[in-house]
Amino acid sequence: MVQLAEADTFRPALALARREALWAIKALRDEPLPLFAAASAREAEIVPEVSEPAIVLRPMTAGSEVVEDYGHVGLTLRTHPLSFLREDLRRRRIVTCAEAMTTRDGHWLEAAGIVLVRQRPGSAKGVMFITLEDETGIANLVVWAKVFEANRRAVLSASMMAVRGRIQREGDVVHLVAQRITDLSADLASVGSRDAAFPLPHGRGDQVRNGGSGSDPRDLPPKNLRTGEIHIPDLHIDTIKVKARNFH
């Protein structure tokens, strides 16, 4: 039952999330305890072994759900892990696998993905072929022997990598010929702490008129704010009065 709960199999039928199912299972016993069995016989009804108030467990982040799926099932029907990292990758000008594989011949770019396959056939004279995967599809890499030796650690150990190189297209066959390889395993390891939404820091829509930098006068506390009052910007209530405690 624990293994089923860890695989999140109780959600469809019983509407129990992974944590809620594990919590409920921990209260079960394989055999009735003697005191409860005696009480049940005396009362002529089943006496629960555990009687506790209902609690609300903290929900898991969307990223941690995906990580648990891979850990216990080996796959996920939820969002692809790289979708949680996409905004970060775009800010670094790293394109998706689908974009890389549809780019014109000879174009230079950088793509990233989870490493699915590494192949180094004996007949390929030291050339390695790698297949990456992200939420849009797969990308096929060609790593020449010199590039492999210069990036050996990342090539052999990275669970996720970014590859900068040139697109080589011959008919329907498309490869990204690697020039530089970066190990992004640490980024992949951060998926468990990510949620579906990525709140990005931004200013007000009209803040560009003020130069977009520096402090905004609207964020400053009121001039008549007294000790014992808390100012929270962007709320309709300007101050919250707190008794018996001073916040400086």
Residues 152 and 222 occupy one common structural domain: no
Q: Is 65 exposed, middle or buried (0-12, 13-18, 19+ CB in 10 A)?
A: buried
Residues 142 and 86 occupy one common structural domain: yes
The answer to whether residue 75 sits within a structural domain is no
Nearest to 141 by CA among 171, 123, 162: 162
| pLDDT at res. 77 | 87
The answer to whether residue 200 sits within a structural domain is no
Residues 17 and 51 occupy one common structural domain: yes
User: Which of the two residues, 231 and 143, has the higher pLDDT score?
Assistant: 143
Are the beta carbons of 138 and 97 closer than 8 angstroms?
A: yes
**What is the rounded average pLDDT for all residues in the chain?**
79
For 208, which DSSP code?
G
Strand partners, 108: 166
Residues 21 and 105 occupy one common structural domain: no
The answer to whether residue 198 sits within a structural domain is no
Percentage of the chain beyond pLDDT 90 is 42
Cut 0.75: pTM above it: no
Percentage of the chain beyond pLDDT 70 is 74
Residues 185 and 86 occupy one common structural domain: yes
Residues 135 and 230 occupy one common structural domain: no
188 vs 79, 142, 195, 228, CA distance in Å?
14, 22, 13, 45
The answer to whether residue 211 sits within a structural domain is no
The answer to whether residue 202 sits within a structural domain is no
Residues 186 and 143 occupy one common structural domain: yes
Residues 155 and 220 occupy one common structural domain: no
Structure tokens at 204: 């007000």
141: CB partners within 8 A, 6+ apart: 129, 130, 131, 132, 163, 165, 175, 176, 177, 178
Residues 122 and 170 occupy one common structural domain: yes
The answer to whether residue 206 sits within a structural domain is no
The CATH number that applies at residue 139 is 2.40.50.140
The answer to whether residue 68 sits within a structural domain is no
Residues 54 and 99 occupy one common structural domain: no
Give tens-digit pLDDT for 48-102: 665 667 778 888 888 889 988 888 888 888 899 999 999 999 999 999 999 999 9
Give tens-digit pLDDT for 222-245: 555 554 444 444 443 333 333 333
- Its domain, for residue 134, covers 82-192
Q: How confident is the model at residue 12 (pLDDT cuts 50, 70, 90)?
A: confident
What is the total count of domains within the chain? 3
Give tens-digit pLDDT for 159-170: 999 999 999 999
